[in-house]
Amino acid sequence: MKHFPNSLSFISGRGLCLLTVLLAVLLLPVPTLRSQQQPKISIEVKVVTVYATVRDKQGKLVSDLPQSAFSLEEDGRPQTIRYFDRESGLPLTLGLLVDTSLSQRRVLGEERSASNSFLVHLLRQDKDKAFVIHFDREVELLQDLTASRTKLEDALDLLEVSQQGQSGSTTGGQSRRGGSRGGGTLLYDAV
């Protein structure tokens, strides 16, 4: 068995030329499906839902437009809008994250009260859902996703200021995973 110090040293001139042609063929662009004619697919559709959000020049939402204010076209051809509805009744799912770090000790009662009021006024019974998480030096799910106002209120009642790291300062929302150094809050981890 002969040893070749350079892997190309054993290829003759003709073999090298053949190898070059083979590499050139392999590197040629392969025609893609996009360059070929795509078949058209046509299907009959009874209803197509189109959602629209309208804002005025100042960026404020406009929610009282009538059906006549909208026009719809498909491939440049006007389409008839047969059904028109303002979808304000869609279910809402939200998460409430409450900072219980030491820096919040003076306002936690107000946070609890405001959070409870927010949930009572915003959530519609048996339609909307929420969950509650508190964060300080740890992140804890106090109530998983539920439509029960009672369970959400009970979770808010569990909110307490963390007593850990009283001598440390908060990190202003910066996540600090190092354990016992300082008193940072885990806002980013909670999110």
CATH of 93-190, one of 3.40.50.410, 3.40.1280.10, 3.30.470.10, 3.40.50.2300: 3.40.50.410
Question: How far does CA 41 lie from the centroid of its chain?
Answer: 32
Across 14-18, 22-26, 35-39, 172-176, least confident range = 172-176
For 74-115, the pLDDT digits (tens) are 899 998 888 888 777 778 899 999 888 888 889 989 989 999
Sequence-separated (6 or more) residues with CB below 8 Å from residue 127: 89, 91, 92, 147
What does the alpha-carbon distance between residue 137 and residue 161 come to, in Å, rounded to a whole number?
11
Strands of the 129-135 sheet, one edge to the other: 93-99, 129-135, 139-146
Q: Both ends of the chain: CA-CA distance in Å?
A: 65
Could you state, in order of their start, the residue ranges of all structural domains in the chain?
A: 93-190
Question: How far does CA 13 lie from the centroid of its chain?
Answer: 59
For 120-147, the pLDDT digits (tens) are 888 888 889 999 999 888 889 999 999 9
